[in-house]
């Protein structure tokens, strides 16, 4: 009579995360590299922190930038993370 093989829930959680990480790595390897446009990088760097919304007649523009700094110890190495994004919504009557 075969014995049941008990697998803990931790194993299934680790297996799930490893599967997702493997799929993400395979997708990143197959993706074509996107060229970096320096003009876009300069605009994103020049954004002020916070959220801005501007509306014209037919266009709404949104700009957002947020950042956070992490440091290990008072004089230790640090890391600055930034999120910046631009968005545009145009509506046309048909």
With 0-12 CB in 10 A as exposed, 13-18 as middle and 19+ as buried, what is 51? Answer: exposed
Mean pLDDT per segment of 10 residues, for the chain of length 94 residues? 70 92 92 86 88 86 90 88 86 79
Does some domain include residue 17?
Answer: no
Alpha-carbon distance of 91 to 58, in angstroms, equals 6
Note down the domain range covering 80: 48-94
Does some domain include residue 32?
Answer: no
Does some domain include residue 27?
Answer: no
Position 66 scores a pLDDT of 92
How many domains does the chain contain in total?
Answer: 1
Alpha-carbon distance of 71 to 73, in angstroms, equals 6
Does some domain include residue 11?
Answer: no
Does some domain include residue 16?
Answer: no
Does some domain include residue 74?
Answer: yes
Position 58 scores a pLDDT of 79
């Amino acid at each position: 009579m075969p014995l049941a093989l008990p697998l803990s829930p931790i194993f299934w959680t680790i297996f799930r995360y490893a599967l997702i990480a493997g799929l993400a790595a395979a997708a990143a390897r197959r993706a074509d590299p996107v060229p970096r446009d320096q003009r876009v990088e300069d605009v994103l760097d020049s954004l002020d922190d916070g959220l801005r919304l501007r509306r014209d007649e037919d266009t709404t523009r949104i700009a957002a930038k947020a950042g956070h700094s992490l440091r290990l110890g008072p004089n230790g190495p640090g890391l600055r993370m930034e999120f910046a994004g631009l968005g545009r919504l145009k509506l046309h009557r048909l």
